[in-house]
Amino acid sequence: MIGTVLGGRYEIIEKIGAGGMAYVYKARCKLLNRNVAIKILRDEFVNDEEFIKKFRRESQAAASLSHPNIVNVYDVGMEEIDGNSIYYIVMEYIKGKTLKEIIREKGKLTLEETLDYSIQIGEALEHAHKNHIVHRDIKPHNIMITEDGRVKVTDFGIARAATASTVTNTSNVIGSVHYFSPEQARGGYTDEKSDIYSLGIVIYEMITGKVPYEGDSPISVALKHIQEEIIPPREIDNTIPIGLENIILKCVQKSQIDRYNSAAELLRDLRRVKYSGNTKDMEDTALIQNTQIMPAINNGSEDNMKKPKAKKKNGGLKPILLAILLAFVVVSSAVLGFYQLKKYFITPEVEVPNLVGMNVDKAEEELEILELKLRISKEVPSSEFKKGDIIEQKIKAGEKVKPGYTIDVVVSSGGNYVKVPNLIGKSITEIDSILEEYNLVEGKVTPQPSDTIEANIIMNQYPNPYTEVEEGTKIDLIVSQGPETKTVLMPKIIGRTEQEAENALNAFGLQLGKRDESPSDEFDKGKIMWQSVEPGVAVETGTKIDIKISTGPEPEPEPEPVEEKEVPFNVNLTLPDDGSEIEIIVERLQDGVAETVYKKNHEADGKTIKIPLKGKLDAEFNFYYNGEFNSTVYHPDR
C-alpha cells in the first residue's frame, strides 16, 4: 500500500499499526498539505455487506463528532484497486502513545494522572452520548495520549459496525474482552452504560496496574465479567482513595440499571475526588457493604446451668412414658402441619424467558401464560430494533421470580427520524455535506439528458423533499446530463480557409477549437493542412475541432558569408649603411582597423632583413622608420 493514493489526495507513507479490524497507515493529504492517519479495513470484512453498511453509517456519524478529546474523522471512502475494494477512514494524525503503552511503561499511574485521564475520557464519552453515539470498545488501546498530555479517544463507529461473529474472528478480541461489559459478553443490548462499564475497567487498570479479570481464553474472561465480582482496588493498594474505589465499583456493576445513569454523573464524582481531595464514602457511589456477622450470644456453659435436684425417691415409670408419647404426638402433628401449610405459604418460582427482540404484545402474552406481568419502563430510539420490539429487560432471561412479578423492559420507539432536505436544483458535487448533516446516505444516481437544466444539477429525488425518514436512509437522485448529445460525420475541411472551415463546422453542429500555423510546400498560405478528427468519423455535436494552417513554403536560407582568412607572407627589407640604430614599425590597416603588427630596433649595417607579416588579401601595411612614414606594402597575393 505504500505509495498508493486514495481518493485522489491521500498518499500512503508508512504503516504505523494494525488492529483486529483494520490496518493503520500514516498518509499525506496533498490537497491540504498535512499528515493524516488512514484506517483500511481488513480483507475479511470487505465482502460482508451488512458490516460494510453499518461501517459506513457509523463512520459517517462519528465524523460528525467535534470535541478536543475525540480524534477527528475527516473522510470516509471506498476505492477499487486492482479489482479489490478498499474501504478506509481518514482521521486526525496524533503524535503520542496509547494509554496501554503508558501503563506498560509505568506499571501503574499516579492518582493525579488517573483522575486527569479519566475525566478527559469521560468528557469525550459525554459528548458522544449526547450525539447518540456509543463507542462500544473503550480500552487503553483506543485511547491516545498526546505529547502534551491530552487524551484523544479514537475508533468511534468501527466497534458498532462489528457483529459478534466478526469480533470473535479477530485477534483483537483478546485485548477487547478484558474491557467488555457483561451485556456485550452475553451478546445483549448495549447502550451508553456499556461504555461507562468499560471506562470503569480502564480506570481500575490505570490505578492498580492490572485488569480485574484474567483467564486462559477470551471466553473464560468474558464469563468472569458476567459471573464474578472484581477484587476491590483497595485490596490491591490501600492508598487508593475510597471515593475513587467506589466510583470504579459503581461503573462495573453487572446490571446496567445499577451503574451511573450518564457520563455526566460519572464526571461529577471524578471531579469531586480530584478537586476536593475527599477520600470518604460518597453517597452516590457507596454501593457495596461488607456483611457483618453478629457474634454468638454466650448464655453460659453447662456447668453454670442449674441442675435439677435429684429426687430422693424413684417415681413411677408411667408418667415418663406418657410424657414421651405426648411429645411424639405433638412433634408429629407439627411436622405434618408444616408440610400441609407449606403449599399455602411457599409459592413455586418461575423462570423468566428471553424477551429481547420480541414484540411487546407477544411478550405480554408469553408472560401472562407464566402468570407474570410486563411494564414498559421507557422507550428509546433504535436503528437496530423495530418499533415496539424489546431492547432490554431488567430481570435477565433464566432468572427465577414468583408468579405475579412485574418485568420492566425498554422498548424501541424506532429509528431516529429526520426530514429529507430539498436537493433539487443543487449540484451533485455539494450534496455529500448536506446528506451527512442529516445523517442520510446517497443512494442510486440516475443521469438523464435535459435541454433546460445544465449538467450535474439534480432534477428530482426520492424520497421527496421534507418527507420524514429514518436516519441512514438512502436518497435516490436524478441528475441532468445537459442537452442530449447527437452524433454527426466529421466533414473534410483540409484545403479550406479558416473562415470556410468554421462555416462548415457550424453547419454540422461542431465548433472550431485550437489553431496552429506552420510552413508547407503542399498547401498555399492560409489553407488548412491538418484537422484533429479525421473526415468521416462520427463525433458528438458540440465537439471542438483543432486545425493547423499553412504559412506557405518555408523560405530558403540565405548563404552564410565565407569568412576571409589571414594569409602569412614575408617582406625583405634592406637597411641603410650608416651604423645608426633604426626602429622599424609596421602598422596593418585591415577591415578599417589600424593595428601595429611589427616593432623592433635594427642596426643600420646595409644588410637585408626578413620581416614576417600576416593579413587578409586586401590589407595594407605601412612602414615607419624612427616614427616617420617610409612606404606602404600590399599583400603579395592581392
The catalytic residue positions are: 137
**Among the listed residues 546, 545, 547, 548, the one whose alpha carbon sits nearest the alpha carbon of residue 510:** 545
10 Å CB burial of residue 457 (0-12, 13-18, 19+) is middle
Q: At 33, which amino acid appears?
A: N
> CA–CA distance from 357 to each of 12, 120, 164 (Å)?
43, 35, 16
Task: Measure the CA–CA gap between 98 and 247, rounded to whole angstroms.
Answer: 23
Cα Rg of the chain (Å, integer):
50
What is 550-611 written as a DSSP string? E--SPPPPPPPPPPPPPEEEEEEEEPPSSS-EEEEEEEEEETTEEEEEEEEEEE-SS-EEEE
Q: At 118, which amino acid appears?
A: S
Task: Measure the CA–CA gap between 354 and 398, rounded to whole angstroms.
Answer: 8
The torsion defined by the Cα of 388, 390, 392 and 397, in degrees rounded to 10, comes to 160
Task: Measure the CA–CA gap between 290 and 321, rounded to whole angstroms.
Answer: 51
Q: At 22, which amino acid appears?
A: A
Cross-strand partners of 477? 445, 461
The torsion defined by the Cα of 632, 636, 637 and 638, in degrees rounded to 10, comes to 20
Q: Between vectors from CA 531 to CA 528 and to CA 534, what angle results, nearest 5°? A: 135
Asked if residues 149 and 113 have their Cβ atoms less than 8 Å apart, the reply is: no
627-630 CB contacts, 8 Å cutoff, 24+ apart: 627/583, 627/585
Q: How many CB atoms lie within 10 A of CB 541?
A: 14
**Among the listed residues 287, 93, 98, 68, the one whose alpha carbon sits nearest the alpha carbon of residue 206:** 98
